[in-house]
Amino acid sequence: MEILHEKKLKELEEMANTIRQDIIKMLEQAGSGHSAGPLGMADIFAAFYFYILNHNPKEPNWQGRDRLILSNGHICPVRYAAMARAGYFPVKELKTLRKLGSQLQGHPHRRHLPGVETTSGPLGSGLSQSIGMALAAKLDGRKYRVYCLMSDGEQDCGNTWEAVMFAGKNRLSNITAVIDRNNIQIDGFTEDIMPLEPLRDKYESFGWHVLEVDGHNIEAFIDAINEAKAVFEKPTVIIAHTIPGKGVSFMEFDYLWHGKPPAKEEAKKALNELRTLGGKIKSEHE
């Protein structure tokens, strides 16, 4: 991993903004899909695909690659945008989101899109799949790392906690889970639907190393990933506090945008805001 100098950090922040614009365009074109979660995770996906992951877009099944599992598959527009920008497929294909015959289904399908490790949809399954890969790597003496991205809402699922217990018991230090702690789910705010707090204490009680970061601070997130790599005796979970709908003023913090796309005029307004934000990012680093 290269040194995170100022120029690279600027590139990552600009890429996150580009990914957000891609998300808006994709969703407006599709006429369906999720807005809030993908926008909120753009900084983290930019960090993964353009700095953290050991991967090769030209050889997506390379055996030594790090594995990134998207458990909350409904936020896949952010993954598709990041993958396209990284070179897994042409950016122009993003406009085929949710179309019949497209590689870019409404939930990721591993047989449709090279570079996607699992087919995701039912919430709560991703961590179990991830610990299987992490355990296999340990048994086979492989050095790749496994990253599992989860929603906070899917912490309601019992299957998640079976996986948490298993990973803690087996000291799977080669897995890092990232929870998108945006405090919303489709029916409202998480603490109203099914309170999760104290979330940190729960993971620690099952033998996990727990870190909490601002999910929009790319430098802080990368620091947390590096700390996770230095922990050899237990798995790590990063609770990333994010703003749903980040970057689009009328979407931010509004759970109603969890599962709906912008209409034409809404998309136009959102893109104008993101382009203005992109200009500010450039000027801040000059």
Domains (ranges, CATH) in the chain? 6-284 (3.40.50.970)
Q: Do residues 160 and 202 make contact, with C-beta atoms less than 8 angstroms apart?
A: no
Taking CB atoms within 8 Å and a gap of at least 24, the contacts of 6-10 are 6/285, 7/285, 8/51, 9/218, 9/219, 9/285, 10/281, 10/282, 10/285
How far is Cα 167 from Cα 209, in angstroms, rounded to an integer? 11
Q: What is the pLDDT along the chain (286 residues), one digit of tens a residue?
A: 677 889 999 999 999 999 999 999 999 999 999 999 999 999 999 999 999 999 999 999 999 999 999 999 999 999 999 999 999 999 999 999 999 999 999 999 998 899 999 998 789 999 999 999 999 999 999 999 999 999 999 999 999 999 999 999 999 999 999 999 999 998 999 999 999 999 999 999 999 999 999 999 999 999 999 999 999 999 999 999 999 999 999 999 999 999 999 999 999 999 999 999 888 887 776 6
Tokens standing for residue 214: 């601002």
Q: What is the pTM of this model?
A: 0.96
Q: Do residues 71 and 117 make contact, with C-beta atoms less than 8 angstroms apart?
A: no
